[in-house]
């Protein structure tokens, strides 16, 4: 039974969008505006996350081993390092490996380093990676107390500052997103309420001729979905174009090492999915909320 | 068909609209409800299609107490009756055909049956040639005919009308009343609240007079009995 009328509701809800063209315009643009801001924040937060993760993965503590340490003492040191809290992995890198690494990073000028081939001044190193890179400071303190540790290298202040900035960024982003979702629901429910007041007569007549509440609700329910989806389509278009431009023109040309953005594919598809999802959910919630009081349920 | 037993209704604002109504209306009757403004006629009518619930007492429609109906059951009750108002209650964005078919839509009639039925009633009310017109392109009398067509399209046993001629000139009102009589002749019970003295006096039917929420008069082929 319900399927026979589903087609009618489908057609009806679509027609209603055009019948109340101005209300539709108002609702769609308010959804579009809020989802645009929301989408902008999602783009920012997710990229900030991505950048932070990139930095987190690069965080390592390079433990320089005292030159006086004997072979068995170096081995003992490894197991001690592995037992330090928060340590994920420990890898040995001999002073020759270190020299090779330096050569690689110096590139063309690396011939200067040839003179050290016979008498390598570098230390053997343990490269320590952490489970939770944000606590690098604490792990470093624990490692310092181990015997035969000459010195530690982990970009002390910089790492800490960056983590603080991104942490604050994350919280502010999430807070703003939650706030915006509520504002959007409120906005749409208000616009739909106006649509319903404009159509109060229709609801009254539906009730008079014996329509069930479910029957009355259907077109409004679908209308909510349309409004939300249409409203989402605009910011999806704008954000996708802007992001794609930013990604291909700005970031790739600048080629800053740690400023890596999420690749547009699949990120933009995910973003579209999220915005359409949020748009239609708030559309439906708002329409159900605003029709309640007219139904005497 | 309709029976009210000791029906009282007081609104939250303290107004006692009905004060102990006892009445019985048989199938196929034609009944006028008359009385001064604010006497309780509209509340009386609203009891029948369960727009209002009595504070106490029973309202039986076909033997079932609709006062005790759950809200979810009201649509089923209304599908078996037609309700007509002074302001027609038509949808301005739908044409004549669609307005009448609206009533069949909620019960999910098939398209062919819907079309046949709608054309039948539009012929009965004399508007078959105006099916594509919008309500605002019609005269008041024609709009009320559309509303009547909508109310009878499902072939109900009961038609309730609250001041159906309130906005119409005398000549048009007579046309509407004759239409009600035609419908009544087909076996449908008609209950009509009205202020129209001429209609009541010229087309004699049962008259129930309500004053201050009580029935003060109930006459077979009665008169209007008030000056206005």
Q: Is residue B104 part of a domain?
A: yes
Q: Do A289 and A187 share a domain, yes or no? A: yes
Asked if A213 and A296 touch (Cβ cutoff 8 Å), the reply is no
The residue range of the domain holding B113 is: 94-138+145-154
Which residue of chain B has the CA closest to A216?
B106
| Inter-helix orientation angle A264-295/A213-245, to 10° | 150
**Tokens in use for A101?**
């690494």
User: Is residue B44 one of the residues assigned to a domain?
Assistant: no
User: Which chain A residue has the Cα nearest residue B108?
Assistant: A5
CB of A7 within 8 Å of a chain B CB? The answer is no
CA angle B12, B226, B21 (to 5 degrees): 40
**Is residue B98 assigned to a domain?**
yes
Strand partners, B219: B207
Query: Is the Cβ of A297 closer than 8 Å to some Cβ of chain B?
Result: yes
**Residues of the domain holding A21:** 2-55+161-295
Q: Chain A contact for B78, CB < 8 A?
A: yes
Among B71, B106, B108, beta carbon nearest to A209 = B106
Identify the sign of the CA torsion A239, A240, A242, A244. positive
Which is it for strands B189-193 and B30-34: parallel, antiparallel or unpaired? parallel
> Within this chain, do residues A30 and A99 fall inside the same structural domain, yes or no?
no
Are residues A282 and A200 both part of a single domain?
yes
Task: State whether residue B91 sits within 8 Å of chain A by CB.
Answer: yes
Q: How far apart are CA B102 and CA A209, in angstroms?
A: 8
Q: Are the beta carbons of A211 and B108 separated by less than 8 Å?
A: no
| Residue A87 and residue A183 in one domain | no
Give the pLDDT band of residue A156 (cuts 50, 70, 90).
Answer: low
Q: Identify the CA nearest to B21 among candidates B216, B219, B160.
A: B216
d(CA B182, CA A214): 35
CB under 8 A, 24+ apart: contacts of B179-183: B179/B124, B179/B125, B179/B145, B179/B148, B180/B30, B180/B148, B181/B30, B182/B124, B183/B124, B183/B148, B183/B152, B183/B159
Stretch (H or E) spanning A123: none
What does the pLDDT look like over B117-175, one tens digit per residue?
Answer: 999 999 999 999 999 999 999 999 999 999 999 999 999 999 999 999 998 999 999 99
The token pair at B144 is 């009320």
Identify the pLDDT of residue A232: 92
A-B Cβ pairs (cutoff 8 Å, strict): 47
Question: CB A201 to CB B89 under 8 A?
Answer: yes
> B98, B106, B159: best mutation site toward chain A, by most A Cβ within 10 Å?
B106
Q: How far is A31 from chain B (nearest CA, A)?
A: 26
Residues A121 and A241 in one domain: no
What does residue A199 show for φ and ψ, rounded to 5 degrees?
Answer: -110, 20
Paired tokens of A3: 């399927």
When divided into structural domains, chain A yields a total of 2
Residue B68 placed within a domain = no
pLDDT in tens, A233-291: 999 999 999 998 888 887 666 666 556 788 888 889 999 999 999 888 888 887 777 77
- In the beta sheet, which residues pair with residue B61? B2, B64
CB-based contact, B83 to chain A, within 8 Å: yes
Q: Is A14 on the interface with B (CB under 8 A)?
A: no
**Does the model's pTM come out above 0.90?**
no
Looking at the structure, do residues A272 and A216 belong to the same domain, yes or no?
yes
Domain boundary among A153, A169, A202: A153
Asked if residue A147 and residue A45 are part of one domain, the reply reads: no
Q: How many residues does chain A have?
A: 297
DSSP state of B110: -
Cβ atoms of B196 and B179 closer than 8 Å? no
Q: Show residues of chain B in contact with A208, CB under 8 Å.
A: 49, 78, 83, 89
Q: Is B67 exposed, middle or buried (0-12, 13-18, 19+ CB in 10 A)?
A: buried
Domain containing A120 — which CATH number? 3.30.70.3040
Last residue of a domain, one of A153, A174, A194: A153
Cis link prior to A266 (omega < 30° from 0)?
Answer: yes
- Asked whether the beta carbons of residue A210 and residue B83 sit closer than 8 angstroms, the reply is no
Residue where one domain finishes, among candidates A153, A180, A195 = A153
Task: Decide if B152 contacts B101 (C-beta within 8 A).
Answer: no
List per-residue pLDDT tens for chain B, 228 residues long: 899 999 999 999 989 999 999 999 999 999 999 999 989 999 999 999 999 999 999 999 999 999 888 888 899 999 999 999 999 999 888 899 999 998 888 877 788 888 999 999 999 999 999 999 999 999 999 999 999 999 999 999 999 999 999 989 999 999 999 999 999 999 999 999 999 999 999 999 999 999 999 999 999 998 998 876
Number of residues assigned to chain B: 228
Contact B102 A208 (CB under 8 A): no
- The question of ipTM being above 0.95 is answered as no
| Residue B110 forms part of a structural domain | yes
Q: Is B111 on the interface with A (CB under 8 A)?
A: no
The total number of structural domains that make up chain B? 1
Asked, for residue B99, whether it belongs to a domain, the answer is yes
Whether residues A141 and A274 share a domain: the answer is no
| Token representation of residue A137 | 């400071």
CB contact under 8 A, B150 and A204: no
Q: Name the token pair of A31.
A: 């959804």
Are B16 and B9 in contact, with CB atoms under 8 Å apart?
A: yes
Identify whether residues A205 and A238 lie together within a single domain. Answer: yes
Residue A223 in contact with residue A74, Cβ under 8 Å? no
Task: Please tell me the distance from the alpha carbon of residue A214 to that of residue A293, in angstroms, as a whole number.
Answer: 14
Surface of B (112-151) touching A: CB under 8 A: 150
Q: Do A171 and A239 belong together in one domain? A: yes
Any domain includes B133: yes
């Amino acid at each position: 039974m319900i399927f026979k009328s589903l087609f009618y509701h489908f057609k009806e809800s679509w027609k209603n969008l055009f019948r109340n063209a101005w209300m539709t315009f108002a609702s769609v643009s308010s959804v579009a505006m809020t989802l645009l801001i929301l989408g902008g924040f999602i783009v920012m937060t997710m990229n900030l996350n991505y950048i932070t993760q990139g930095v987190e993965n690069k965080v390592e503590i390079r433990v320089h081993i005292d030159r006086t340490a004997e072979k068995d003492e170096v081995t003992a040191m490894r197991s001690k390092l592995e037992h330090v809290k928060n340590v994920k992995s420990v890898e040995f890198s001999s002073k020759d490996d270190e020299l090779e690494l330096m050569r690689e990073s110096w590139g063309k000028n690396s011939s200067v380093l040839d003179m050290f081939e016979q008498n390598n001044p570098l230390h053997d190193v343990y490269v320590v990676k952490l489970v939770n890179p944000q606590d690098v400071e604490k792990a470093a303190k624990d490692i310092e107390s181990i015997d035969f540790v000459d010195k530690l290298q982990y970009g002390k202040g910089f790492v800490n500052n960056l983590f603080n900035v991104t942490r604050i960024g994350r919280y502010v982003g999430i807070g703003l997103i939650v706030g915006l979702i509520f504002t959007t629901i409120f906005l749409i429910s208000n616009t739909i309420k106006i649509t319903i007041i404009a159509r109060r007569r229709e609801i009254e007549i539906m009730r008079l001729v014996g329509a069930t509440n479910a029957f009355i609700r259907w077109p409004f329910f679908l209308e909510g979905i349309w409004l939300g989806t249409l409203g989402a389509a605009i910011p999806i278009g704008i954000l996708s174009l802007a992001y794609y431009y930013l990604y291909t023109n700005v970031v790739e040309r600048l080629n800053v090492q740690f400023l890596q953005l999420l690749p547009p594919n699949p990120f933009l598809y995910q973003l579209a999915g999220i915005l359409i999802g949020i748009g239609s959910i708030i559309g439906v919630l708002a329409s159900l909320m605003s029709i309640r009081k007219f139904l005497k349920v | 068909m309709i029976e009210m037993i000791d029906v009282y209704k007081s609104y939250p604002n303290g107004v006692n609209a009905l004060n102990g109504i006892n009445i019985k209306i048989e199938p196929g009757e034609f009944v006028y409800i008359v009385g001064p403004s604010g006497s309780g006629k509209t509340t009386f009518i609203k009891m029948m299609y369960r727009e209002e619930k009595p504070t106490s007492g029973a309202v039986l429609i076909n033997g079932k107490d609709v006062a005790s109906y759950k809200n979810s059951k009201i649509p089923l009750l209304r599908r078996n009756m037609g309700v007509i108002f002074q302001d027609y209650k038509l949808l301005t964005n739908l044409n004549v055909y669609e307005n009448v078919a609206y009533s069949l839509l909620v019960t999910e009639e098939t398209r062919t049956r819907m079309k046949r039925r709608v054309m039948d009633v539009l012929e009965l009310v004399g508007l078959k040639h105006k099916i594509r017109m919008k309500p605002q392109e019609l005269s008041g009398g024609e709009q009320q005919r559309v509303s009547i067509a909508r109310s009878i399209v499902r072939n109900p046993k009961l038609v309730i009308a609250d001041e159906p001629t309130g906005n119409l000139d005398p000549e048009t009102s007579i046309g509407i009343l004759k239409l009600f009589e035609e419908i009544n002749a087909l076996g449908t019970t008609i209950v009509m609240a009205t202020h129209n003295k001429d209609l009541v006096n010229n087309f004699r039917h049962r008259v129930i007079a309500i004053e201050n929420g009580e029935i003060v008069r109930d006459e077979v082929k009665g008169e209007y009995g008030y000056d206005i």
